[in-house]
Chains A and B, each alone.
Chain A
Amino acid sequence: MKSDIGDKKDENVAGNGLLHRRALLKASTLGIAGGFLLPAQANLSSIPGAPQSVYGKPSRFTGLQREQTAGHPFGPEAGSSSSPLQSLNGTITPNSLHFERHHAGIPDINPERHSLTIHGDVNQTLKFSYENLLAYPMESHRYFLECSGNSYRNTLPTALDLTAGSLNGLISGAEWTGVPLHYLLDEAGLGKDSSWVIAEGADASGHTRSIPLQLILDTAMVALYQNGEPLRPAQGYPMRLFVPGCEGNISVKWLEAIKVQQTPAYTREETSKYTDLLKDGTAEMFSLGMEVKSVITSPSGTMKLRRKGVYEISGMAWSGARMISAVEVSADGGKTWAEAMLQSDSQTNALTRFRIPWHWSGQPSVLQSRAIDSKGNVQPTRNMALERYSMANYYHYNGIQSWQVDAKGIVKNVYV
C-alpha cells in the first residue's frame, strides 16, 4: 500500500500505517519537527514548594480515578470499580487504582483480631496470627488479577461508547508478596485423600470458594503486601489468598479460614455465580483459569487524535498460567496484522506491555490487538469468543477489543 510518509515505505509492517518500531524514534515522522519554532525559556520555580508528606498523593493535575462500573441496587458497596487503563502505562497498577469488586463492602479489620485457621482434613487444626505469618519466608511475584466478569459489557448486543477502563478495567497488575500457602498446609499436615481447599473470607458476604488442592500447592500464596506496602483494606487487609492466573474471585480477600476436604463445597459463588452458561443450557463450573487476552489502552475509547501523523499504539496482554509470546496489532479491522514489540519482560501470570508505531493518515480506521500465549492460544474475535455461550453468560469473555478512529480522530468502541 502507498505510504503517506514518503520515503518511509520500508517502515510499513502492516496495512493502514502500522510501522516498524524504528519509525517512532525519528522525529520527522511525528510531524512535529520543522515548520516554525516557538520561543522558549526554562521555567523554574523561584519559591519553595510544598513540604514533605507522610503519605504521598499524585499530582492534582493528573485527575486519576477509578471508574465505578456496577453497584447493587440495594447496596452500592456490593459493586465494582475498574482501573483507568487508558491513563496508566507500564505493567503495574498503583494500589489506589487497582480494580475492586466486593460482594458486601470492605470490612475494617484490625490485624490483631484476625487470624487464618487451617482445618478440615488435616492432622492438626492450626491458627496463624497476622504477626506470626509475617515471620514466614515470603515470595514476591508480579501477577495480574482479573475479575471473571471483566469486559462483560462487550458481550452486550450494542457496543457501548466508553473508555478502555470502563470496558476492560476489572484487571490490574501488581507485585504481590506473601507466604506460599503450601508451607502452612504442610505444617497442618494434609490428609491423604484431600484434594480440595475451601477458602473463606471474613466479609459480610461470607465469600467462600473451592479450589483444587494441587493448584494451591503449586502456586497459591497468602498475600500480605501489594506493591511493597501492606494490602489495602479493599484488597483484603490484613491477608488475602492469591491464586495467580485465575479468576480474581477465588483469590479470597480477608482470608479467615481454609478448610481441606475431599470434594468441593459447591458454594453459592461457584454454582449460582461464577459458572459459565452455554447455549445448550449446561454450564461450566470451576472455569478458574483466565484466558489469553489483550487490550489497546492508547489510543482507546473516548480519546481524540488531534493531528495526523505517527502515534504509539500501546496496550497490555495477559494469559493465565502462561506467558505472552506475541501480540499482533491491526489498524485495518483485522485484514492485516503486525507483531508489536513486547516492551516488558514477559512473565507467566503477569501483564505484558506492547507497543507499535502507527501512522494515522486521517482516514477512518479500526485498531485491534490479539494476544498469543506460550501454549499457542490465540485471542479470539468477539464472535468466536461468544459462540459457545448463552446470552445470559457474562464471565470469561476474552474477545478482541476493536477501537474505531473516525475521520475526526474520535476513538470509539465498536464491534466488527
Chain B
Amino acid sequence: MFMYKGKERLFTIRRPAVIVLAFFLLGESFAAEACENTLGSSVSAALGEPVEHYVSSIVSPDGSGLPDGGGSVAEGKQVYETQCAACHGIDGDMQGNRLVGGIGTLSSARPIVTVGSYWPYATILYDYIARAMPYGQAQTLTADEVYAVTAYILHLNGILSDSAELDALSLVEVDMPNEDGFVELPGMGHK
C-alpha cells in the first residue's frame, strides 16, 4: 500500500531526490533498480514555481479582493438596462432569472429566492458579476460598472436609495435582509 501520513509523507516525497543523486554517484545499474522502487515517478523535491505578484479576483464579505473604483445607482441603471435586462427583465423579476423581490417569503409555502430575499452579503454580487456576467461576455464590465450595477440591483430590491453610490468601503457596509438566515454546517457538512 502506497500511503503517506503526517511527517512521513514529506520524507517520502523527497526521498526520490536522494535516489537521483545516487544515480550520479553509483552509476546506472543501481539507478535502474532504484527506479523500480519509485513506481515510475521521477519526483524531485518541489516543483512549484514562486510567484511574486498574484492578483486574485476572489471577493470576501470583509471586502478583501475588491478593487478601486465606484459607481452609483443612476449609472447602474444604464448598465443594467443595456447589459442585464434582456435575461433578468427590466425590473429584475423575469421568471427563472429573478433578482428582485420576495423579501419575507422564505418560510412561506412558495418562497421567492432572489438577491434581495436570500443572498447574505452584498460582496457576493460584486464577485459574481465581475467574474461571470453578463452571461456570454463575462469579465467585460469595468470595476466602476460592476459597482454601479451592484448598486442598482440592490436599489431595485429596496436595499439602497436611488441616490446611493458604492465603492469598496461602502459595499461591505450594506446590510442584506437575509444575512442571518443561514446555518453553517461544520466539517464534511453532513446533516
Q: Residues of A at under 8 Å CB distance from B?
A: 73-75, 78, 103-104, 117-120, 124-129, 132-133, 135-139, 180, 182-184, 186-188, 198, 200, 204-206, 208, 212, 214-215, 245-246, 257, 259, 261, 263-268, 271-272, 275, 277, 279-289, 291, 320-321, 390-392, 396
Say whether B51 faces chain A, with CB atoms less than 8 Å apart.
yes
Per the bound structure, the CA–CA distance linking A254 and B52 in Å amounts to 23
Cα A212 to Cα B60 with chains together (Å):
15
Give the Cβ gap from B39 to chain A, nearest Cβ, in Å.
8
Surface stretch bound by A, among B74-82, B109-117, B145-153:
B109-117
- Complex Cα distance, B184 from A263, in Å, reads 12
CB within 8 Å for A391 and B111 given contacts A266-B121, A285-B185: yes
Q: How far is the CA of A378 from the CA of B6 in the complex (A)?
A: 33
Contact A206 B128 (CB under 8 A): yes
The 0/1 profile, CB within 8 Å of A marked 1, for residues 136-176 of chain B is 10100000000000000000000000000000000000000
Known A259-B58, A271-B124: A119·B51 in contact at CB below 8 Å: yes
> In angstroms, how far is the closest chain A Cβ from the Cβ of B90?
16
Q: In the complex, are the beta carbons of B124 and A136 less than 8 A apart?
A: no
Are A321 and B190 in contact, CB atoms less than 8 angstroms apart? yes
Interface residues on B, range: 35 or more
- Please tell me if the beta carbons of B54 and A119 are within 8 angstroms of each other in the complex: yes
Contact pattern, B 39-74, Cβ under 8 Å of A = 1, otherwise 0: 101111011111110101111111011000000000
Instruction: Output the least CB separation between B163 and chain A (Å).
Output: 27
Top 10 nearest A-B pairs (CB, nearest first) are A206-B131, A281-B107, A126-B48, A288-B189, A281-B106, A132-B47, A289-B188, A289-B190, A268-B128, A125-B51
Selected from A119, A127, A245, A391, the residue in CB contact (under 8 A) with B110 is A391
Q: Which residues of B contact A (CB under 8 A)?
A: 2, 4, 9-10, 12-13, 39, 41-44, 46-52, 54, 56-62, 64-65, 87, 96-97, 106-111, 113, 115, 118-121, 123-124, 127-128, 131-132, 135-136, 138, 181-191
Q: How far, in angstroms, from A75 to B131 measured CA to CA in the complex?
A: 17
Q: How far is the CB of B21 from chain A (nearest CB, A)?
A: 17
Nearest chain B CB to A287's CB is how many angstroms away? Answer: 5
Min CB gap B177→A, angstroms: 11
**Which residues of the other chain, B, contact A136 by a CB distance below 8 angstroms?**
13, 41, 43, 47
Contact of A267 among B41, B49, B124 (CB under 8 A): B124
Partner of A206, one of B44, B50, B138: B138
Name the one of A104, A135, A215 contacting B41, with C-beta atoms under 8 angstroms.
A135
B56 neighbours in A (Cβ, 8 Å): 119-120, 257, 259
In the bound complex, do residue A282 and residue B61 qualify as a contact, i.e. CB atoms below 8 Å apart?
no
Q: Choose among A272, A281, A284 the residue that contacts B115 (Cβ–Cβ < 8 A).
A: A272
Query: What's the Cα separation between A170 and B120 when bound, in Å?
Result: 28
Check B60 against A266 for contact (C-beta < 8 Å): yes
